[in-house]
Amino acid sequence: MKGEDAVANPVTWARWEKPAVILIALHSFAVGVMLLLFPDWSVHFGGWPEAVYPQFFIRQGGAFHVVLAAVYMLDYSWNRSLRFMVLAKAAATLFLTASALYYRGPWVIPASAAGDAAMGLCAYFFYRRASMSKS
C-alpha cells in the first residue's frame, strides 16, 4: 500500500498503535528512573548549572513519571484506550510551554514541551483512528 491508501487503512494504524504506546510509556518510565536514581545528573543534563536541593521534588517527579508510564500501559491493556495518555500529554505540553515562555530556563523545558506535544499528537491520531474504526 502506498500513499493515501496506507494512511487511510485501519490495519496500518492498528499495527503501529501498540508499539507507539509502548515507546511513549518507555520514555516516561526512563525519565522517571533517571530522576529517581540520578537526580543530580538529570538536573545537570537538563541544563541547570548546579544541583537542586532538596532532591525530594526531583525524585517525586521521577515517581510521577513511573506511575504515568504504568497507567498508560494499564489503560491501554485494560481498555484499549489512549484517553489518559492524550490528556496527560496535553497537560504536560501546556505546563511546559507556559513555563518556557514565563521562565527562561534551560533547553530541556522547551524541548520537553515539543516532545510531549509530539507524543500527545501521536497518541491523539491513534485515538481518533480507533474511534473512527469503531463507528
Q: What is the pLDDT of residue 104?
A: 83
Owner of C-alpha cell 490495519: 11
The pLDDT value recorded for residue 88 is 98
Task: Report the pLDDT value the prediction gives residue 15, as an integer from 0 to 100.
Answer: 83
Q: What is the pTM of this model?
A: 0.87
CB-based contact 6:12 (threshold 8 Å): yes
The residue written with cell numbers 515562555 in the block is 101
* In the predicted structure, residue 4 carries a pLDDT above the cut 70: no
At 38-84, the pLDDT tens digits run 999 999 999 998 888 899 999 999 999 999 999 999 999 999 999 99
> Residue 24, by phi and psi: left (phi above 0), alpha (psi -120 to 50) or beta?
alpha
Given a cut of 70, whether residue 108 has pLDDT beyond it is yes
